[in-house]
Amino acid sequence: MNSAELGRRLKEARLAKKMTQSEVVGDFITRNMLSQIESGVATPSIKTLEYLASVLEISMSSLIPEDDERSSGSSEAFSIVEAKRAIGEGNYQKALELLESGSDCFSDEYNALRSISCLELAKQASANSELQNAVNYAKKAQEYAQAGLYANSERAEESMHLMNKSAKLLSDYYAALITE
């Protein structure tokens, strides 16, 4: 679904509720931004889309077409929503699988969610003494955490610290093997 179709669906839902743009946006976004979204000029973030769906009392799925009708953008939006749900349930591997491929449309959201998932998987691998996996996931987490609009220096630093710690333990392990 393109931005124009998404905007049309949002506008239809707003008019069905007999709400003005100002009533819908509240303090979350500007009325002008909603106007741009409804006219297809702007594409809302997932957070904005979730907010609008909540205010309009409609499901996200009503804004996103069925599988056979999905275009890249709406499919990616659906993947982000599902990945957030997986992260909330602690299923970080599933979240990563949902976020495997993505275009530039939602790259910032994808990177943020990937960094969270990779860091948590790195922590789990480290706790299970799977040091190589811990290093690999921590490295990916750091890269994702440094990218895009939602770059997070704290997550990047935590990832680097975990990567260095795991790499040191791995190095010590191999050094001990060589000296035996």
Read off the pLDDT of residues 42-51 as tens digits, 9 standing for 90 and up.
888 888 988 9
pLDDT tens digits, residue range 125-177?
999 999 999 999 999 999 999 998 899 999 999 999 999 999 999 999 899 99
- Nearest-angstrom CA–CA distance, 157 and 155: 5
Helices (H) and strands (E) in the chain, counts: 10, 0
- Nearest-angstrom CA–CA distance, 67 and 65: 7
Domains of the chain: 3-63 (1.10.260.40), 69-179 (1.25.40)
**101 pLDDT band (50/70/90 cuts)?**
confident
Average pLDDT, the chain: 88
Nearest 5°: phi and psi at 56? Answer: -85, 0
**64 pLDDT band (50/70/90 cuts)?**
low
Position 70 scores a pLDDT of 44
**1 pLDDT band (50/70/90 cuts)?**
low
- Nearest-angstrom CA–CA distance, 25 and 32: 10
The pTM is what?
0.60
- Nearest-angstrom CA–CA distance, 145 and 155: 6
